[in-house]
Structures are given as structure tokens and as C-alpha cells.
């Protein structure tokens, strides 16, 4: 394992999270070296571990480089353990439903009494406003926030092919945490920071919102949009593959014409500017589609790369494992899934002096670090023995707390 890049080493994070939004926020900080302790419900752990189908990759993708403790937060011993953990932490991350942490007496106000320097990061569906008490999912805010409308053809809203708002919301959570840590250096005090899924979605469609003011017309869905550039299309190749090509400047137009021996198009004065080319697309696009059908994918890719033109073969996520750039050292790390399979996972898309953050801790087993963290918190052998029941018992089986669920 290689975790040489750890700029946040020494920073202590306690994470109460599930699904994607909270775990990915903690992951970014963990990959950068922070000690992230994931607090999971005893005894079975985060239910995200067991999601089927399209959710089956969530835990494996977003929980490396963390430590795991399992705690019954509704037992006195378990709650005290969480309090002790919070007391020694710099940052708390949570993405549970509204009011859950308050009912556990682990909300912002309660934790400020425990640790006045704590940065409390709450990741929710909506920030302050009329919708702040609504439940939300990535799909919900994509649908109501215009992203699904922009992604599918008109009349057929389509969810984006990734949990974009969860991931962007997590990134903004990290930004807010880092800013709050900087502020704490000057004030000595912690603060509450929040990031919202809906607001993250608005940030993603901001240019479409501004476009309405600029043009007076609503933005068209991406599949139906009016072209901004002459060539910004997907072409079929001779071997039944597909390739995207983008030509977005006059210089690139010249290089494209040279690359594919289209000198007549290059010399045509009625195609000398991008605006002219967009207006006359119908005159030359059928010819280009026909041309690409005479080339296989590797031939077309080689020509485009040699002339430094933007292009991309259309790939499935599983095909990326064969991509030489993805297989470059540092681009992925291997984690051990619950079924024992080693899986390649992309590392953070950043470099420090040419080095990517790596793996220094595999995916944690459920409650793998219970005793080690208890000892770090100063628990004696006798106290640890009393605590074990909280590590191993579920709140559902806690007779004293069943009526509080």
C-alpha cells in the first residue's frame, strides 16, 4: 500500500454516514491523510455494505483509508463512546435525515458543548429555505433542478449516469470544512457548515440558467440543443464502434481538414468562421459521417491524436480497466471487497508534485477498529469490557431504547 501523499495527516474526522454523500466527503479527506473514523450501527454495520444492483459498488468505492467502529448510539455506553470520540475530533461529518443526530443528542448544539473547536459538517438534501425539511435523493434534485430535463431528449427527462449531486455536494462539503479549519486557526472556535444536494445541482445547471437571461430563451435539452460548434458529434466507425469528435476553434477546424484530407472544406471561404460552419452544418456533416464509417476506431483515434484534436471513444465503465491511461501507476488502487475480490478503484483526481494520493488502509471490516480506537480514547480493560456490549448489540434489541426509535 502506498499513501505517501498525506497533506492532512494528523486531522481527526468522525463520520456518521451512509450511501454516497457522506462517505464520499469522508473519503476525500481520508485519501488526503486525515484519520477518518466511520461510526457504523452495531452489530451489522452500515447497510450500504449490503446494497444490491446499482448500489453494490457504493461501499467499495467510497470507504477506503478509513477506520470502522460499530456502536449502539442509543445505549449509555455507546453514546458515551461517541461523545469521547467527538471530544478528540477536529471534524464531524453526517448525512442522516433531518433531526436524527439531534434525537441522538449528537447534533451541532450538543457537540459544541462537548468540543467547542469542532467543525460540524451536515450534508443534506436542501439548505435553508422552504424545502429544507424535505427528504431528497440525487434523482429527486436532478428532476426538480433541471438536470434531468437537460440530460434526456425533450419530454423524456433522464437521470445522469452517475451520482453527480452526491459527489459534488461532498466536494463542497470538503471545501467548506477546509475553509472552516482555516478560520478556526484565527478564532479558535468550531462552526457549523452545510452542503445541499439541490444547491449542488443548481451550481451544475447555472450556465443554463444564465443562458435564459442572455438569450431570452430556455436552454434546450442537450440531445436537442442548437450546436455551438460545427463539429461536436458522435460518429460510427467501420468496426461498429463510436467516437466523439469536437472541433471548437478555427485552428482546430484547419487541423481537422488537414488530418482527413478535406482541403476543399478548408479553402471554402463560406466555412472560414465557426458561426458560418454552424449555419452550414447540413452541407458537410453527412460527408463526415460517411468518412468515419470507412475508418475503424483505432485508425480514427490515431489520426485525431496525431493532430492534437479532441476525441473520445465511447466506453462503458467496465471497459476503462483496459485503458492505458487508467492503468498508469497511481490512477487506481486495489481494495478488497466483501466477497474477497480485489477491485480497482479510481484514486482522487489530483496530484501533489506529480504523485496521486494512494491507499494506506484497505476497506474496513465491520467494527474492525473497535478496540484499537477505544484504547486510543483511554478506555481501561474493565471499561472496554463494559463497552463491548455496545459494540455488539443493536439499538433494535436495546429494550431501554426501543420506544425512541
Boundary-marking domain end, from 290, 316, 342: 316
Task: Give the other-Cβ count within 10 Å of 374's Cβ.
Answer: 20
Q: At what angle do helices 381-392 and 76-87 cross, to 10 degrees?
A: 110
Q: Which residue, of 274, 289, 316, is where some domain finishes?
A: 316
Number of structural domains (the chain) is 2
* In-domain check, residue 136: yes
- State the angle between helix axes of 197-204 and 164-187 in degrees (0 to 180), rounded to the nearest 10: 110
In Å, how far are 32, 33, 264, 285, 390 from 71, measured between CA atoms? 26, 24, 72, 62, 6
Domain identity same for 178 and 253: no
- Whether residue 24 is found in the same domain as residue 162: yes
Q: Would the pTM of this model clear 0.85, i.e. be above it? A: yes
Distance CA 221, CA 231 (A): 18
Position 349 pLDDT exceeds 50: yes
pLDDT given at position 233: 96
Domain's final residue, options 298, 316, 334? 316
In a domain, 173, yes or no: yes
pLDDT tens for residues 252-304?
999 999 999 999 999 999 999 999 999 999 999 999 999 999 999 999 999 99
**Residue 308 belongs to a domain with what CATH number?**
3.30.1540.10
pLDDT higher than threshold 90 for residue 391: no
Q: Do residues 164 and 108 both lie within one domain? A: yes
Residue-number span of the structural domain to which 126 is assigned: 12-205+325-404
Q: What is the pLDDT of residues 87-139, one digit of tens each?
A: 999 999 999 999 999 999 999 999 999 999 999 999 999 999 999 999 999 99
pLDDT in tens, 63-89: 999 999 999 999 999 999 999 999 999
The pLDDT tens digits of the residues spanning 16-65 come to 999 999 999 999 999 999 999 999 999 999 999 999 999 999 999 999 99
Q: In terms of domains, do 310 and 331 share one? A: no
Which residues lie below 8 Å from residue 134, measured CB to CB, with a gap of 6+?
125, 126
- Which triple of cell numbers denotes residue 87? 471530544
**pLDDT tens, 170-189?**
999 999 999 999 999 999 99
The model's pLDDT over 51-66, given as tens digits with 9 standing for 90+, comes to 999 999 999 999 999 9
Amino acid at each position: 500500500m502506498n499513501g505517501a501523499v498525506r497533506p492532512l495527516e494528523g486531522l481527526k474526522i468522525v463520520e456518521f454516514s451512509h450511501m454516497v454523500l457522506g462517505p464520499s466527503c469522508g473519503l476525500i479527506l481520508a485519501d488526503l491523510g486525515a484519520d477518518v473514523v466511520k461510526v457504523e450501527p452495531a452489530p451489522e454495520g452500515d447497510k450500504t455494505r449490503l446494497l444490491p444492483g446499482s448500489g453494490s459498488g457504493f461501499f467499495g468505492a467510497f470507504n477506503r483509508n478509513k477506520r470502522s467502529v460499530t456502536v449502539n448510539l442509543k445505549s449509555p455506553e455507546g453514546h458515551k463512546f461517541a461523545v469521547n470520540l467527538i471530544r478528540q475530533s477536529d471534524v464531524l461529518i453526517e448525512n442522516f435525515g433531518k433531526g436524527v443526530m439531534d434525537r441522538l443528542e449528537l447534533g451541532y448544539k450538543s457537540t459544541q458543548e462537548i468540543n467547542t473547536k469542532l467543525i460540524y459538517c451536515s450534508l443534506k438534501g436542501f439548505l435553508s429555505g422552504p424545502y429544507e425539511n424535505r427528504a431528497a435523493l440525487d434523482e429527486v434534485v436532478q428532476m426538480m433542478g433541471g438536470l434531468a430535463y437537460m440530460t434526456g431528449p425533450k419530454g423524456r427527462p433522464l437521470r445522469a449516469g452517475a451520482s453527480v449531486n452526491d459527489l459534488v455536494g461532498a466536494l463542497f462539503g470538503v471545501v467548506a470544512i477546509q475553509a472552516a479549519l482555516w478560520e478556526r486557526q484565527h478564532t479558535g472556535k468550531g462552526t457549523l457548515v452545510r452542503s445541499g444536494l439541490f444547491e449542488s445541482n443548481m451550481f451544475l445547471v447555472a450556465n443554463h440558467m444564465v443562458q435564459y437571461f442572455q438569450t431570452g430563451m430556455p436552454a434546450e435539452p442537450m440531445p436537442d440543443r442548437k450546436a455551438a460548434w460545427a463539429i461536436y458529434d458522435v460518429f460510427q466507425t467501420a468496426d461498429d464502434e463510436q467516437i466523439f469528435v469536437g472541433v471548437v476553434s478555427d485552428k482546430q477546424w484547419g487541423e481537422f481538414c488537414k488530418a482527413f484530407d478535406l482541403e476543399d472544406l478548408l479553402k471554402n471561404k463560406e466555412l472560414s468562421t465557426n458561426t458560418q460552419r454552424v449555419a452550414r452544418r447540413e452541407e458537410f456533416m453527412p460527408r463526415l459521417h460517411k468518412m468515419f464509417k470507412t475508418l475503424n476506431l483505432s485508425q480514427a483515434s490515431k489520426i485525431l491524436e496525431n493532430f492534437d484534436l479532441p476525441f473520445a471513444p465511447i466506453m462503458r465503465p467496465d471497459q476503462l480497466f483496459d485503458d492505458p491511461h487508467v492503468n498508469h501507476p497511481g490512477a487506481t488502487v486495489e481494495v478488497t471487497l466483501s466477497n474477497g475480490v480485489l477491485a480497482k478503484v479510481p484514486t482522487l483526481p489530483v496530484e501533489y508534485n506529480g504523485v496521486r494520493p494512494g491507499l494506506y488502509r484497505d476497506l474496513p471490516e465491520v467494527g474492525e477498529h473497535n478496540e484499537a480506537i477505544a484504547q486510543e480514547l483511554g478506555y481501561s480493560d474493565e471499561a472496554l469490557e463494559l463497552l463491548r456490549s455496545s459494540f455488539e448489540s443493536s439499538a433494535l434489541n436495546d429494550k431501554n431504547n426501543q420506544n425512541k426509535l
